[in-house]
């Protein structure tokens, strides 16, 4: 068996579009987009959901946030700036990495979804730029973009994911491809959410409502990306079990969880109302267990089966009837609204 994974041909007249011949990777695809004839029906649903979820960050009013930012405590400002820096890096590298993954996916319906994800990641980067330009004083903006270089904890955090991507870019072995898929899943499924919760906690105190609206939109997008990579990995597990290495998954999850906890304690700690060192550990390990269960694997952390931030779900709009859930296939996304129709935070 070759150690290298085969990249799909762009022009493949000898390929076939027969459903029974279609595979997630290393299939004989012609790359024809025929959405009336698909194997992975979840991709069709996901594509339509993501296409309907169009939003423009500049339509979110950040006027109140400019004033609120001046009233944040030094710890809250540091967390706000640091988390923005982390999110900017994540979506920037993801925008560049997704097209590389798509070169090896041989299910056209899944390639379409990956294309939409690439677009959404670019919108997220635009959102952070809009937020930074609107709220952060001119002289402080460059420090946010460069924070990942200057902060050792953050650098080690992003290095783990970025190196997994770079290893695959440098050597397209099957092992590196699988590790890159896991890294994608970790980025989308684990890396964002302590940061998102920070903004929801601010919103629960009627602070930074515009920023939090943008985060809600991004959060809803990211949950569809979780579903995308979850289903890609499950398909690889079913079709190519020799490539699906549970030991590698557990090892990468352990590292990601440790770094997530270290980073969150470093940038948020216990200086933010509503967050404790214990809640960070509990939430991160609970979330990791949920993501592993979605892959059909046993939880990694015994006893962590309760979300300590359950009370934030109303603000996050990521649970409940008709909104985005941890497994978004259980529901219909209705949480995308432009600023003209987004409810205020007065009810919270």
In contact, 306 and 286? CB cutoff 8 Å: yes
Q: For residues 346 and 314, what is the distance between their CA atoms, to the nearest angstrom?
A: 13
Please report, for the domain that includes residue 89, its CATH number.
1.10.620.20
Kindly give the confidence (pLDDT) of every residue in the chain, 348 residues in length, as a single tens digit, with 9 standing for 90 and above: 579 999 999 999 999 999 999 999 999 999 999 888 899 999 999 999 998 888 999 999 999 999 999 999 999 999 999 999 999 999 999 999 999 999 999 999 999 999 999 999 999 999 999 999 999 999 999 999 999 999 999 999 999 999 999 999 999 999 999 999 999 999 999 999 999 999 999 999 999 999 999 999 999 999 999 999 999 999 999 999 999 999 999 999 999 999 999 999 999 999 999 999 999 999 999 999 999 999 999 999 999 999 999 888 878 765 433 333 433 333 333 444 443 333 332 332
The tally of domains found in the chain comes to 1
* Residue 29 within a domain: no
The structure tokens listed for 302 are 């015994």
* Residue 23 within a domain: no
Say which of 40, 47, 80, 128 is annotated catalytic: 128
The gap from C-alpha 78 to its chain's centroid, in whole angstroms, comes to 22
Largest CA-CA distance found in the chain, in angstroms, rounded: 64
* Residue 1 within a domain: no
Is there a catalytic annotation at residue 128? Answer: yes
* Residue 4 within a domain: no
* Residue 241 within a domain: yes
In contact, 35 and 43? CB cutoff 8 Å: no
* Residue 346 within a domain: no
Q: For residues 16 and 9, what is the distance between their CA atoms, to the nearest angstrom?
A: 12
Q: For residues 215 and 198, what is the distance between their CA atoms, to the nearest angstrom?
A: 10
* Residue 196 within a domain: yes
Q: For residues 315 and 250, what is the distance between their CA atoms, to the nearest angstrom?
A: 32
Q: Provide the residue range defining the domain that includes 50.
A: 43-330
């Amino acid at each position: 068996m070759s150690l290298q994974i085969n990249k799909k041909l762009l022009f493949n007249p000898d390929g076939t579009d027969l459903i029974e011949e279609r595979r997630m990777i290393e299939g004989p695809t012609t790359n024809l987009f025929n959405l009336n004839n698909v194997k992975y029906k979840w991709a069709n649903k996901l594509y339509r959901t993501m296409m309907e979820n169009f939003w423009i960050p500049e339509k979110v009013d950040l006027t109140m946030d400019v004033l609120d930012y001046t009233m944040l405590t030094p710890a809250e400002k540091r967390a706000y700036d640091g988390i923005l820096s982390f999110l900017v890096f994540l979506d920037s590298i993801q925008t560049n990495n997704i097209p590389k993954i798509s070169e090896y996916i041989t299910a056209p319906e899944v390639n379409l979804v990956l294309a939409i994800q690439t677009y959404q990641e670019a919108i997220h980067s635009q959102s952070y730029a809009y937020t930074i330009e609107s709220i952060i004083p001119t002289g402080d903006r460059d420090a946010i973009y460069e924070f990942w270089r200057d902060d050792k904890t953050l650098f080690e955090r992003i290095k783990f994911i970025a190196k997994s991507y770079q290893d695959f870019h440098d050597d397209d072995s099957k092992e590196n491809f699988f590790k890159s898929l896991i890294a994608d899943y970790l980025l989308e499924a684990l890396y964002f959410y302590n940061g998102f919760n920070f903004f929801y906690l601010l919103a629960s105190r009627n602070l930074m409502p515009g920023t939090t609206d943008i985060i809600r939109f991004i959060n809803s997008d990211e949950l569809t990306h979780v579903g995308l990579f979850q289903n890609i990995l499950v398909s690889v597990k079913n079709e190519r079990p020799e490539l699906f290495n549970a030991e590698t998954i557990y090892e990468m999850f352990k590292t990601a969880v440790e770094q997530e906890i270290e980073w969150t304690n470093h940038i948020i700690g216990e200086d933010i109302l509503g967050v404790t060192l214990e809640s960070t550990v509990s939430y991160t390990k609970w979330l990791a267990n949920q993501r592993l269960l979605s892959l059909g694997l046993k939880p990694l952390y015994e006893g962590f089966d309760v979300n300590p931030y359950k009370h934030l779900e109303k603000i996050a709009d990521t649970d409940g009837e008709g909104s985005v859930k941890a497994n978004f296939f259980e529901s219909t996304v209705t949480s995308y609204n432009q600023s003209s129709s987004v409810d205020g935070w007065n009810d919270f």
